[in-house]
């Protein structure tokens, strides 16, 4: 597994733990066991689940599994770097901080969108018909 | 495909079918759609999507110690049992499909939350060492060959 995928998946696993923790708190609040302010918790729960866990895990695994693109001269097409995964996970973290603070969550969201958008060309090029030779 | 992966994928299919069925019912006038919405959303997200991620990652991610071991540990089976039991309890008691006293509902949902937490920690403990850089795998294999 390449280093970028390893860190992308590991960070997604951390988001997964946070998602399950916040989801559990919400369920306990719904049952009346726990008294918390629900609105920011719901937003944090959904953001960590979708932006951090699901997207992070799927894109991280895809980076590992998809065949690398090779040019006619036999060299790899290198579009993937650290900045896209850093923006995906860093953007998610800033998004959560913004939700906790109650302002500027859009900064994290924009960074996250930039990270995901930056990964699309990688997957676009790498999802191709296999060379019959 | 390993037995745990097969079980996870099939349980995921069950939750997918149940979730889609409940979503359809919720849109009809038979059920209170607002109240039932979190139940079918969680059936799809926790029961199907997350469980498929569990099952496929357990199948595909390289194993840590003996790379060719096909049997899964007690930990992964416990994870699968805890996750599905918790989800089942949640579905039954979150919107009071089964009528119970509030105190009993609180206890059952509390146990469900605990089972979700245990299952997620067990999954992360299982999968974390399997997410690693390739060079280390080569070194480990090389060491094994030298023994």
| Residue among A6, A21, A27 minimizing CB distance to B132 | A6
Residue A82 pLDDT exceeds 90: no
Higher pLDDT pick, A80 / B4: B4
- What confidence tens digit (pLDDT) does each residue in A32-49 have? 777 777 777 899 999 999
Q: Choosing among B35, B39, B114, B120, which should be mutated to test the A contact, i.e. which has the most A CBs within 10 A?
A: B120
Contacts of B48 (CB under 8 A, 6+ apart): B12, B13, B15, B16, B19
Which value does ipTM take for this structure?
0.85
Q: Could you tell me the pLDDT band of residue B98, with boundaries at 50, 70 and 90?
A: low
Q: Could you tell me the pLDDT band of residue A90, with boundaries at 50, 70 and 90?
A: very high
Which whole number is the average pLDDT over B67-81?
78
CB contact under 8 A, A17 and B127: no
Of B104, B105, B103, B85, nearest to B95 (Cα)? B105
Residue B145 pLDDT exceeds 60: no
CB contact under 8 A, B110 and A33: yes
Q: Determine the pLDDT at residue B9.
A: 96
Helices (H), chain B: 3-27, 33-42, 51-60, 74-94, 102-127, 134-146
CB contact under 8 A, B113 and A16: no
- Residue of chain A nearest B136, judged by CA positions: A1
Higher pLDDT pick, A89 / A75: A89
Q: Which range has highest mean pLDDT (A89-93, B68-72, B100-104)?
A: A89-93
Which residues on A lie below 8 Å from B109 (Cβ)? 27-28, 30-31, 33
Eight-state DSSP code of residue A33: S
Which whole number is the average pLDDT over B25-44?
82
Neighbours of B46 (CB within 10 A): 25
Q: Is A73 left (phi over 0), alpha (psi -120 to 50) or beta?
A: alpha
Which residues on B lie below 8 Å from A38 (Cβ)? none
Q: Considering just the CA atoms, what is the radius of gyration of chain B in Å? A: 19
Residues of B with CB under 8 A from a CB of A: 45, 49, 53, 57, 60-62, 90, 94, 102, 105-106, 109-110, 112-114, 116-117, 120-121, 123-124, 127-128, 131-134
CB contact under 8 A, B53 and A57: yes
């Amino acid at each position: 597994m390449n280093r970028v995928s390893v860190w992308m998946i590991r960070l997604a696993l951390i988001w997964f733990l946070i998602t399950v923790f916040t989801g559990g708190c919400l369920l306990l609040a719904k049952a009346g066991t726990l008294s918390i302010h629900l609105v920011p918790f719901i937003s944090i729960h959904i953001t960590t689940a979708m932006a951090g866990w699901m997207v992070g895990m799927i894109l991280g695994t895809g980076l590992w599994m998809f065949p690398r693109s090779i040019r006619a001269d036999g060299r790899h097409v290198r579009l993937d770097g650290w900045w896209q995964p850093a923006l995906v996970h860093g953007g998610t973290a800033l998004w959560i901080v913004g939700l906790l603070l109650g302002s500027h969550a859009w900064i994290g969201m924009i960074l996250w969108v930039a990270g995901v958008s930056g990964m699309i060309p990688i997957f676009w090029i790498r999802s191709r018909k296999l060379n019959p030779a | 495909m390993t037995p745990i992966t097969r079980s996870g994928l099939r349980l995921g299919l069950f939750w997918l079918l149940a979730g889609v069925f409940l979503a359809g019912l919720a849109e009809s006038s038979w059920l209170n759609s607002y109240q039932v919405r979190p139940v079918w959303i969680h059936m799809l997200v926790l029961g199907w999507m997350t469980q498929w991620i569990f099952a496929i990652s357990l199948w595909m991610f390289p194993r840590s110690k003996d790379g060719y071991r096909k049997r899964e540990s007690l930990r992964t089976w416990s994870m699968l049992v805890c996750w599905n039991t918790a989800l089942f309890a949640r579905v039954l008691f979150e919107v009071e499909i089964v009528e119970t006293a509030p105190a009993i509902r609180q206890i059952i949902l509390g146990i469900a939350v605990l089972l979700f937490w245990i299952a997620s920690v067990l999954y992360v403990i299982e999968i974390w060492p399997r997410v690693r850089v390739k060079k280390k795998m080569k070194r480990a294999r090389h060491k094994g060959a030298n023994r």
